[in-house]
């Protein structure tokens, strides 16, 4: 089986190997999500320095960040060592890539790494044209894998333990998240039905000020200000009837990925995981009014939530499971390695 190394040159995450693929949930290790998942689904490694990549691993995904000079330097070294290199944006939302290319020097560096690499991997379909138009020899769309087939990452909770709704986004300051609108829309439904809304605030006093201005009723809004380890966060997600968001960003879709592992429906959102796993509930092509009506139905017909989760798991197994991720990476790298 092909093993893949994911290199984030100069990154802060510690080097990590995945001999047991997803492994058991561990609060002290980085979870096998985002680009760690690309390494984990192949039993590979995630590294912040090319010296940490085992000699026997020839397939490398090189992450592009705001400082593209790091990627350009790493790419030169990797090519010298005969590695097969695919580039990928670490922060892959459309607005994030645009911000990272806002400096003229980065545009030139991006062109250079596109032309020097063996190809590119886009974890959102929206990025494929950008890679190809900028000089990449090949670009494949491979959605972020999730260990949906690994029972250790099934965070299902009994239906009788679930209540309320979780707002999946967090940032008031990112316009495309529509975080304020999500809180206002769901409030109209939840308060009328006596359901509590949960929101995470990691912005300190600024976030608290914004939330106070929403003027939720007493006990209607539960605010969590603790940054939870990922397994603990998934257990918190799993206690809700569903996750709600209005994120219009073209992102890989971790909000929906979290809901998938927690085995609760994700309503709204334009992300890739939303479109692939929750196509009947995603926000792509739907108005806020339509999502409002769908949220009301999910509250009034909780058994529908179970049906949506069953279909979501089936969709995930067919499109972005660890097995599908490993298969897609094999298909990408195998011809290049020959």
Spans of all domains in the chain: 4-145+321-337, 151-319
- CA neighbor of 114 nearest in space, from 81, 95, 87: 87
Of 58, 124, 56, 135, residue with least CA distance to 96: 124
d(CA 91, CA 71): 14
Q: What is the pLDDT of residue 167?
A: 98
Instruction: Specify the pLDDT at position 119.
Output: 98
Please give the pLDDT value at position 323.
98
Angle between helices 254-262 and 302-319 (to 10 degrees): 110
Sign of the alpha-carbon dihedral angle for 75, 71, 21, 258: negative
Q: Do domains 4-145+321-337 and 151-319 have the same CATH topology?
A: yes
Nearest in space to 10 (alpha carbons), one of 45, 58, 62, 59: 62
Could you tell me where the DSSP H helices lie in the chain? 35-40, 68-80, 94-100, 104-116, 128-133, 179-193, 204-213, 230-237, 254-262, 272-277, 288-300, 302-319, 322-337
Closest CA to 245 of 277, 217, 282: 282
Residues in the chain: 338
7, containing H or E segment: strand 4-7
Flag residues of the chain having pLDDT under 70: none
> Cα(78)–Cα(131) distance, rounded to whole angstroms?
20
Q: Does the CA dihedral 270-275-279-284 come out positive or negative?
A: positive
Question: CATH classification of 151-319, choosing from 3.30.110.60, 3.90.1150.110, 3.90.280.10, 3.40.50.2000?
Answer: 3.40.50.2000
Predicted local distance difference test score (pLDDT) of residue 171: 85
Report the relative pairing of strands 59-64 and 45-47 from DSSP bridges.
unpaired
Burial 110-133 (b: 16+ CB within 10 A, else e): bebbbebbbbbbbbbebbbebbbe
Domain 4-145+321-337: which CATH class?
Answer: alpha beta
Predicted pLDDT at 215: 86
Instruction: List the beta bridge partners of residue 139.
Output: 120
């Amino acid at each position: 089986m092909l093993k893949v190394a994911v290199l984030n040159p100069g990154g802060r995450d510690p080097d990590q190997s995945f001999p047991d693929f997803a492994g058991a949930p561990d609060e002290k290790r980085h979870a096998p999500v985002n680009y760690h998942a690309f390494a984990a689904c192949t039993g590979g490694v995630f590294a912040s320095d090319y010296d940490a990549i085992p000699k026997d691993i020839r397939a490398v995904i090189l992450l592009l960040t705001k400082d593209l000079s790091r990627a350009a330097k790493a790419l030169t070294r990797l090519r010298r060592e005969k590695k097969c290199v695919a580039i990928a944006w670490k922060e892959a939302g459309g607005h994030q890539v645009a911000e990272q290319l806002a400096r003229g020097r980065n545009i030139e560096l991006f062109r250079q790494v596109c032309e020097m690499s063996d190809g590119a991997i886009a974890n959102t379909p929206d990025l494929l044209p950008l890679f190809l138009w900028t000089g990449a020899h090949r670009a494949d769309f491979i959605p972020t894998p999730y260990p949906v087939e690994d029972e250790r990452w099934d965070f299902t909770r009994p239906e009788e333990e679930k209540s309320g709704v979780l707002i999946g986004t967090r940032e008031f300051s990112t316009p495309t998240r529509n975080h304020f609108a999500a809180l206002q829309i769901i409030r109209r439904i939840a308060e009328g039905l006596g359901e509590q809304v949960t929101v995470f605030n990691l912005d300190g006093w600024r976030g608290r000020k914004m939330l106070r201005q929403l003027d939720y009723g007493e006990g209607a809004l539960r605010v969590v200000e603790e940054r939870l380890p990922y397994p603990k966060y998934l257990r918190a997600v799993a206690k809700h009837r569903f996750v709600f968001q209005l994120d219009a960003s073209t992102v890989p879709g971790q909000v929906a990925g979290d809901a998938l592992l927690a085995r609760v429906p994700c309503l709204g959102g334009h992300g890739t995981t939303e479109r692939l796993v929750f196509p009947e509930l995603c926000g792509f092509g739907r108005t806020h009014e339509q999502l409002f009506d769908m949220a009301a139905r999910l509250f009034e017909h909780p058994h529908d939530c179970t049906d949506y989760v069953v279909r979501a798991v089936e969709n995930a197994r067919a499109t972005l499971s660890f097995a599908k991720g490993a298969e897609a990476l094999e298909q990408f790298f195998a011809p290049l390695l020959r």
